[in-house]
Amino acid sequence: MNGMDAGMRAALVAAREAGRGTIRKWRHGDAHRMLETVFADCAAEDAEALTHRATRLFGDGGWAGALLQPLIDAIAADPLFEPPFKANRDGLRIGAVLFDCPAVAISACVTSAAAMRRRPPPTACTFSGRIAVTRFVRAGGATLRRWRTAPAGPDFRAAEAPPCEERESLRLADGEVHAIDGRCEAQLLADAGNDVVTLVATIRAGAAPLMREHAIGDGKLLRVASGDDQASRAEMLLAFLRLAGRADAGPQFDAATRDPAFHLRWAAMREWLALDAHAALPRLEAMAAGDPHIEIREAAERTLAAVRPRLSTACRA
């Protein structure tokens, strides 16, 4: 068994080494360079132009076959070859990122019709906060259910969020291309007779900081989550600083409480208070008095009422 294990390890190492050349050649191939060219001279922050280019690209899906064929040939020649894709799988679908640049990510996905039939009817729809363009390479006879709600602006309040409203569903056909503005639109596949194969271009520009989930039954907002990768990483790093007891990181916490993303501002304040409430108190007072977002001001006021007595007691002790 040890000999077989060693042999397999050697084979994997050899396949990985040989695969590097294949991947380099693929990245410099015509299909991959074409995708780079499509988005190269488009400003990364121009969501409208990027959406237009992705829609035009998806008007003909032949490039996808040309992009994948060299990698398919490599796998056929060596089953141990690993394509250079980030892949993800859940109980409903399997997908992989085919192309990624600062402006857009293009992925391919297969959604299982059998898995859709086994699952109970969905009870919620998600507003992703991002613009996406989808080509239904194989529509599988599916229907596209759609919802709409107001965008979540800088003064968004969960307690006052309007409900979403369902729009007319669309019967999909092979080769159709649809764009969705996830800041105010949501969609779900339904009634697929066969597996659904899609290409999806996710536009990074203009993304909303929040993802929102609404109930399908009455349209009411159910929950909110951060859809901002940068803000999420910042929250994780601030939590690490707090757990590490880095009281000397006050300037970093202070800067984060002034971030344009209101949810990051409050997350930073919570972590700072847990680390060093005395140092955070002046900034908490300032947020209660003048933060641009009313929910942050209200949360800061409530927190002040709880924190001040404890700090006074600690000082007297």
In this prediction, residue 285 carries a pLDDT of 93
In this prediction, residue 314 carries a pLDDT of 58
The Cα 187–Cα 125 span in angstroms is: 7
pLDDT of the chain, 317 residues: tens digit per residue:
444 577 667 777 776 777 788 888 999 999 999 999 998 887 777 899 999 999 999 998 889 999 999 999 988 988 888 888 888 888 899 999 999 988 899 999 999 999 999 999 999 999 999 999 999 999 999 999 999 999 987 778 888 889 999 999 999 999 999 999 999 999 999 999 999 999 999 998 888 888 999 999 999 999 988 776 777 788 899 999 999 999 999 999 999 999 888 888 899 999 999 999 999 999 999 999 999 888 889 899 999 998 888 887 655 54
In this prediction, residue 32 carries a pLDDT of 93
pTM of the model: 0.77
In this prediction, residue 294 carries a pLDDT of 84
Q: Long-range CB contacts (< 8 A, 24+ apart) of 258-264?
A: 259/231, 259/234, 261/209, 261/228, 261/231, 262/154, 262/209, 262/291, 262/292, 262/293, 262/295, 262/296, 263/209, 263/210, 263/226, 263/231, 264/226, 264/228, 264/231, 264/234, 264/235
In this prediction, residue 1 carries a pLDDT of 43
